[in-house]
Amino acid sequence: MKKTLFNTSAARITRVYALLLMGITVILSCVIMSVVGLKQFQVQRQQALGIVRGLKRSFIANQNDWYWWRMGSWADTKSTFIRISVDKSGKANRYLYSPNAKAFLATKSRGTVHRLTHNIHYLENTGLYYHVRASDVSTSAKDPTVRYDVWMKLNGVTNLLWLLIRLILLISLAFLLLGTWFIYLLARKLNQPLVELTGTTKTINADISENYQRQLPVPASPQEVHDLTVEFNLLLHSLSEQEQADRRFVANASHELKTPIATIRGYVSMVNRRGDAHPEVIPTALAFIDKESERMQRLVESLLTLSRANQLELTTSAVDLSTIITDTAISYGESMGREIQLEVQHHVIAQANQDSVEQVLTSLLNNAQKYSPADTPITVKLAAVGKTLTLAVADQGIGVPDAEKDVIFGRFYRTSSVRNTVAGNGLGLAIVHQLVTLSHGQIVVKDNQPQGSIFEVILPRQ
Ligand code: ADP
């Protein structure tokens, strides 16, 4: 459960956002601090150099010069320390200090100093400072050599940088919390349609009594979820249709089997009841039982064929269809005593499954024979045009009404005109349709002239 919660898109988007924000904050902080720090160090450096320039311009050589210089200087003696050493040949070095400079130098000599750069040093317990040294070297014996040392505390800079770090951290934290929350809500809102979709799908899965008839509510946005739902609904629709067709098929098959079984049982019970007293009924009963059991056998065989055709994967090879069609038609005509006219193009070689071609033709001839008068001819045509070939069986029988031309290929479908007059189970054309589809072809029924029907099978040659 916990794992699922952390694996949701909302959680993942939020994680990525938080990481991104953290990354940006770190980079931005580094850049801001480097720029501000550098700028501040430059300012301090300029100030230190400015002080040195001012000192040099004032020609400080004694206490008096130094006093006047200090009167006009703006340097903050709490953070800027100046020491001037006046070196006159023959005399001991004299030092002039700005206020607090002596104390600073005493601390410096006691503490440990780390030189970070040539000018920037770190004094433990005191902090960073900037040191500039310059000299006025004497050119004559009477002028002294003066050396200027300026130390500037960089506390202002470090304080500013600390303030900046704290501010950036505070702002980033606020953004991180608010932003993460906002992103989480947004991601959840975007994923809400998906969550609802999953919920409805779960309900459908849980309630199989609905037989996939329920459709998912289609959200207007986001587009991806909208498209997914539409496709899913199409899938549900076709599953529902398939399920209904399967139910109809089972109901029809049971119904078709029920009739001959009831008839057989009826005759068996009649023989039981009256067989002893009236033995003459026995041959009639046996004849009916024989006829009905034959009907059952045909039905079961057709069902088996259909079920096999449903799972079949046809293996094809290059065959001479002209010969196969001619041989099958002639042998069928001879066995049924019907005149079969042949209009077969010679040497039509095609990539096909011989058994299924024979089965399709036999089924179509069987129907033509059943649904047309015995004295009318049946025509079998085979023609190859381009990459397709057409096999047609035409008769001059009762024909198929326009309204039923599409549905006669359905399982157990029989037109009303033949339902009680001609024997059959409505599976022949379903099997033919299945075999033709497996061969990547099509089958259509057209009207023949002046009457009857033409069943046309169009197959690819390769
Ligand atoms: P069956 O012939 O056993 O009824 P089929 O699946 O072979 O089953 O045929 C389905 C229906 O199509 C038939 O019941 C019949 O109404 C119609 N049909 C098939 N072939 C022809 C034909 N040649 N002429 C007229 N109707 C036909």
Q: pLDDT tens, 178-211?
A: 988 888 888 888 888 888 888 888 887 777 666 6
Q: Looking at ligand 1, which residue's alpha carbon is closest to its atom 16? A: 415
Ligand 1 center from residue 12 Cα (angstroms):
61
What are the helix and strand counts (H, E) for the chain? 11, 13
Distance 377 CA to ligand 1 centre (A): 17
Q: pLDDT digits over 261-312, tens only?
A: 999 999 999 999 998 899 998 999 999 999 999 989 988 988 888 888 777 7
What are phi and psi for residue 43, nearest 5 degrees?
-60, -45
User: Parallel, antiparallel, or unpaired for β 113-115 and 120-123?
Assistant: antiparallel
- What atom of ligand 1 comes closest to residue 427's alpha carbon? 6
Length reported for the chain: 462
β-bridge mates for residue 122, sequence order: 114, 128
How close is the Cα of 360 to the center of ligand 1, in Å?
13
| Paired sense of beta strands 317-320 and 349-352, if any | antiparallel
pLDDT tens string 87-138: 877 676 788 898 899 999 999 888 888 998 888 999 988 888 999 998 887 6
Nearest atom in ligand 1 to the alpha carbon of residue 431 is 6
CA of 368 relative to ligand 1 center, distance in Å: 8
Q: Within 10 A of 342 (CB to CB), how many other CB atoms are there?
A: 14
Residues with CB under 6 A from ligand 1: 367-368, 371, 395, 397-400, 408, 413-415, 418, 424-430, 453
DSSP-assigned beta bridge partners for residue 383: 390
What is the best residue among 295, 303, 414 to mutate for testing ligand 1's pocket, by most ligand atoms within 8 Å of CB?
414
Which of 30-34, 91-95, 99-103, 320-324 reaches the highest mean pLDDT?
A: 320-324
422 CA from centroid of ligand 1 (Å) = 9
Report which protein residue has its CA nearest ligand 1's atom 14. Answer: 414
Atom of ligand 1 at shortest distance to CA of 399? 25
Calculate mean pLDDT across residues 344-369: 94
Domains of the chain: 5-163 (3.30.450), 223-308 (1.10.287.130), 313-460 (3.30.565.10)
